[in-house]
Amino acid sequence: MLRENFKRIRAEIGQAAEKVQRSPDEVTLVAVTKAASAGQVKEAFEQGIRVFGANRVQEEAPKIAQVPGARWHFIGHLQTNKVRHVLPVYEMVQTLDRLSLASEMQRRAEKLDLKLKVLLQVNISGEKSKFGLAPWELGDFLQEIKTFNCLEPLGLMTMAPFTADPGEARPYFKKLRLLRDEHARPDRMLPHLSMGMSGDYTVAVEEGATIVRIGGALFGSDR
Ligand X SMILES: *Cc1c(COP(=O)(O)O)cnc(C)c1O
Residue 37 CB, nearest approach to ligand X (Å): 15
Residue 10 CB, nearest approach to ligand X (Å): 15
CA nearest to 212, candidates 182, 169, 178: 169
Among 13, 75, 86, 169, binds ligand X (CB under 6 A): 75
Of 135-194, binders to ligand X (CB under 6 A) are 159
Among 5, 33, 40, 55, binds ligand X (CB under 6 A): 55
Give the strand pairing for 211-214 and 71-74.
Answer: unpaired
- φ, ψ of residue 6 to 5 degrees: the values are -60, -45
Among 198, 202, 206, 209, binds ligand X (CB under 6 A): 198
Looking at the Cβ atoms of 24 and 199, the one nearer to ligand X is 199
DSSP letter for 161, please. Answer: P
Q: Give the E-state strand segments of the chain in sequence order.
A: 28-32, 51-54, 71-74, 92-96, 116-121, 151-157, 192-194, 211-214
Size of the chain in residues:
223
Looking at the Cβ atoms of 150 and 196, the one nearer to ligand X is 196
Write out the residues near ligand X by the rule CB under 6 A.
32, 34, 55, 75, 159, 197-199, 213-217
